[in-house]
Chain A
Amino acid sequence: MKTKSIKVNYLARVEGEGGLYIKIRNSSVVDVKLKIFEPPRFFEAFLCGRSFSEVPDITARICGICPIAYQMSAVHAIESAFGVKVDGQLRALRRLIYCGEWIESHTLHVYMLHAPDFLGYQDAIQMAKDYTSVVQRGLQLKKVGNEIISLLGGREIHPINVRVGGFYKVPSRSELTALAERLKWARDAALETVRWVASMPFPEFEQDYLFVALSHPEEYPFNEGRILSNRGLDIAADDYESSFTEEHVEYSNALHSILKQQAPYFVGPLARYNLNFDRLSPLTQDAARDIGLAPVCRNPFKSIIIRSLEVLYACDEALRIIAQYEPPESPVVDFHIHAASGCACTEAPRGILYHRYRIDQAGIIRDAKIVPPTSQNQKIIEQDLSHFVPKFLTLPDKELGWRCEQAVRNYDPCISCATHFLKLEIDRG
């Protein structure tokens, strides 16, 4: 029996702080643990006692990469409690700001974090020496996403313009028209991105996953839809907690989510794509066909292609929204504050993000629950590694570690959302 123990330091290019432990005995993987060791962030606890109106701004602080997702799930959950329906142009603007977040979050991951894995570079800095114009294109594309968020959210990071019932201020037509010119460039750049990533080498690795995503009859999901799986689940967000459960595991500060009576499940771009391919824009569907990507994809490494397709879709959808935009009469719809509970799920870049709030008659939060996408994907990441690592056991530790990092990054885990560096430890006994 080989007796060697290796520690690979911080797993870079993943959001937040965590660790990955892989135990190998007699050429078999016997244990994989994704360990998250930053203390829980207690956001749910410190929301209690705060006004409902503060929730979108407080929850936006959970993540610097996907604040819009937190704001959107928060406002939809509170609106559900108060019985508010935000429709028309205000609803369209919420889709538009979400387009901005998908563009900036996915583009950062595709170009800066994941592409170097496929092209054999240690990081984007090394890659930039050989791929200067490509990296510059990525930076510019990401910037367009940030520009949407700045315009609609008031600022790029921790935006402050989203409120329960709508926005504090809505943009003029001319402000959006100026964005449209940038978005036309971005849509072309996104199409080039799709072709670029599709040409990368992909490991042969497919799994029979249980995919879970929102689904809406008329549109690719951002803010609204039922929660569907590829194995028959079809529920409203109200039934989330009766269908899914969170487990505490000793080695992690982030709770693991599983679907009751079934199995660990997969959320994020791959799940969304597989359950909603026909609701992508014609341009995006054509781009997928042109690169030979089927409407169902079970290779998690190809998530980089699907993220790129979603960036293309987000640019296309943003242009559609801008073309039909007429400023609404009011930036916010009226509502009545009363004691109530409400929940909502929206599609964060990394997958479904569930929020639930109980609010008292004065509008004070009395109870809050937040289930981020990364905690839902933790078990699937562990499963992937336990199936993936055996194929590469003969590799030297350094290369094996690199392969594992690439596999974890398929999920773009945002561990700071789930609680916070990922350290990689391979234990060969």
Chain B
Amino acid sequence: MSHSSKVLVIGIGNAYRHDDAAGLVVARRLRDQALSYGEVHEQTGEGTALMDLWKGTERVVVVDAVQSGAVPGTIHCFHASETPLPAPIFRDSTHAFGLVEAVELSRALKQLPSNLLIYGIEGSNFQAGSGLSSAVLDAVDELARRLQQEIQKM
């Protein structure tokens, strides 16, 4: 598989806001497994950096923490290349121009990857501090396992 055909995997989060780090931890798990079919990046969620990262790329997987009121550890999946993201459930990072805006601005500029999968892991604790809550840690393990398979099929 050539470099350009690799799937771009982006984990988003803040390592110092407990469950907000879920996306980062998934990215690190996948990186540790040295994926031959994927390129892993960690991001804070700043929108323009995300746009820059996925511009010109066809297949992208993004993992972020979400807050929808579902049971902590629930894994949500959105096909962002087909439908807009449900904005209110994505945690606003400290940046007002975040993931949701990056997706929609990319769509407006016709720069959205043709296959953009966004996974949201439901968090419960977003206070300052490090370490994931147990339900979120289980979800991270499960999603990292699933992605190993799914990325190959993208």
CB contacts (< 8 Å) of B128 on chain A: these are 39, 41-42
Pick the most buried of A39, A124, A135: most chain B CB atoms within 10 A of its CB: A124
User: Which one of B20-28, B71-79, B101-109, B140-148 is at the interface?
Assistant: B101-109
Comparing A7-15, A29-37, A92-100, A235-243, the segment that makes contact with chain B is A7-15
The verdict on A15 contacting B95 (CB below 8 Å), with A125-B101, A129-B108 known, is yes
The answer for the CA separation of A113 and B48 in the assembled complex, in Å, is 12
Residues of B within 8 A of A123 (CB): 101
- Interface flag for B52 (CB, 8 Å): yes
Please measure, in the bound complex, the distance between the C-alpha atom of A126 and the C-alpha atom of B107, giving whole angstroms: 11
Chain B contacts with A in 85-130, Cβ cutoff 8 A: 92-97, 101, 104-105, 107-109, 128
Partner of A64, one of B52, B94, B105, B108: B94
Contact between chains at B49 and A156 (CB < 8 Å): yes
Q: How far is the CA of A125 from the CA of B112 in the complex (A)?
A: 13
CB of A350 within 8 Å of the partner chain: no
**B46 CB–A CB distance under 8 Å:** yes
Q: Kindly state the separation between the CA atoms of A142 and B105 in the bound complex, as whole angstroms.
A: 15
Instruction: Give the complex CA separation of A113 and B98 in angstroms.
Output: 12
Which A residues, 3 to 62, have Cβ-Cβ distances below 8 Å to chain B?
A: 12-17, 39, 41-42, 61
Partner of B109 from A41, A112, A136 at Cβ < 8 Å: A136
Contact across chains for A113 and B94 when beta carbons are under 8 A apart = no
User: Which residues of A are found within 8 Å of B67, using beta-carbon distances?
Assistant: none
B97 nearest CB neighbor, chain A only = A112
Residues of B38-75 whose CB lies within 8 A of A: 43-44, 46-49, 51-52
- Interface contact B92-A139, CB-CB below 8 Å: no
Note all chain B residues with C-beta closer than 8 A to A125.
101, 104-105, 107-108
Point out the residues of chain A lying under 8 angstroms from B109, CB to CB: 128, 132, 135-136
Q: Which residues of A contact B49 (CB under 8 A)?
A: 146, 156-157
A64 and B96 within 8 A (CB) = no
Alpha-carbon gap, A65 to B44, bound state (A): 11
Partner of B44, one of A13, A112, A128, A157: A157
Residues of chain A within 8 A (CB-CB) of B43 are: 157
B47: chain A residues within 8 A (beta carbon)? 112
Contact of A65 among B92, B95, B104, B108 (CB under 8 A): B95
A307 at the A/B interface (Cβ < 8 Å)?
no
Say whether B96 contacts A124, CB under 8 Å: no
Instruction: Name the distance in Å between B10's Cβ and chain A's nearest Cβ.
Output: 13
A151 within 8 A of B: no
By the criterion CB–CB under 8 Å, are B48 and A142 in contact?
A: yes
By size class, the interface of chain B is 20 to 34
Residues of chain A with a CB closer than 8 A to B95's CB: 15, 64-65
Residue in contact with A108 in the complex, picked from B16, B44, B94, B97, CB distance below 8 Å: B97
From B16, B52, B95, name the one whose CB has the most chain A CB atoms within 10 angstroms: B95
In Å, the complex CA distance between A12 and B97 comes to 9
Q: State A15–B46 Cα separation when bound (angstroms).
A: 11
Q: Are B96 and A113 in contact (CB under 8 A)?
A: yes
Cβ of A421 within 8 Å of any chain B Cβ, yes or no, is yes
Contact A143 B108, beta carbon cutoff 8 Å? no
Of B43, B46, B51, B96, which is in contact with the most chain A CB atoms at under 10 Å from its CB? B96
Whether A124 and B105, one on each chain, are in contact in the complex, defined by CB atoms closer than 8 angstroms, is yes
Rounded to whole angstroms, the CA-CA distance of A157 and B41 in the bound complex is 13
Least CB distance from B54 to A in Å reads: 13
Please name all residues of chain A whose beta carbon is closer than 8 Å to the beta carbon of B51 when the two chains form the complex.
139
Q: Within the assembled complex, what's the spacing in Å between the Cα atoms of A143 and B95?
A: 16
| Contact A139–B48 (Cβ < 8 Å) | yes
Question: Which single member of B46, B96, B104, B107 contacts A14 (CB below 8 Å)?
Answer: B96
Residue of A13, A15, A112, A132 touching B48 (CB-CB under 8 A): A112
List the B side residues contacting A113 at CB < 8 Å: 96-97
Q: How far is the CA of A216 from the CA of B43 in the complex (A)?
A: 37
Query: For the complex, what is the distance from the CA of A421 to the CA of B87, rounded to whole Å?
Result: 14
User: In the complex, which of the residues A14, A135, A157 contacts B105, with contact meaning CB atoms closer than 8 Å?
Assistant: A135
A63 x B105 contact (CB < 8 A): no
Q: Is the CB of A15 within 8 A of B101?
A: no
Whether A61 touches B108, Cβ cut-off 8 Å, given contacts A124-B101, A157-B46, A416-B94, is no
Contact B48–A143 (Cβ < 8 Å): yes
- Decide yes or no: A64 and B101 within 8 Å by CB, A135-B109, A421-B92 being known contacts: no
Q: How far is the CB of B76 from chain A (nearest CB, A)?
A: 21
Chain A residues with CB under 8 Å of B104's CB are 125
CA distance A129 to B97 in the complex (A): 17
**CB of A420 closer than 8 Å to a CB of B:** yes
Residues in B neighbouring A158, C-beta threshold 8 A: 44
Q: How far is the CA of A129 from the CA of B107 in the complex (A)?
A: 10
Is A15 within 8 A of B94, CB to CB? Answer: yes
Scan residues 114-138 of chain A and give those whose CB is less than 8 A from a CB of chain B.
123-126, 128-129, 132, 135-136
Given pairs A125-B101, A125-B107, A132-B108, 5 additional interface contacts (CB within 8 A): A63-B94, A113-B97, A135-B109, A139-B48, A143-B52
Instruction: Show 8 residue pairs from A and B whose CB-CB distance is below 8 angstroms, ordered by the A residue.
Output: A17-B92, A64-B46, A112-B48, A125-B105, A135-B105, A143-B48, A158-B44, A420-B94
**A-B interface, 10 closest residue pairs, ranked by CB to CB distance from nearest:** A416-B94, A128-B108, A125-B104, A13-B96, A125-B105, A112-B97, A64-B44, A157-B44, A125-B108, A129-B108
Binding site for A on B (CB under 8 A): 16, 43-44, 46-49, 51-52, 92-97, 101, 104-105, 107-109, 128
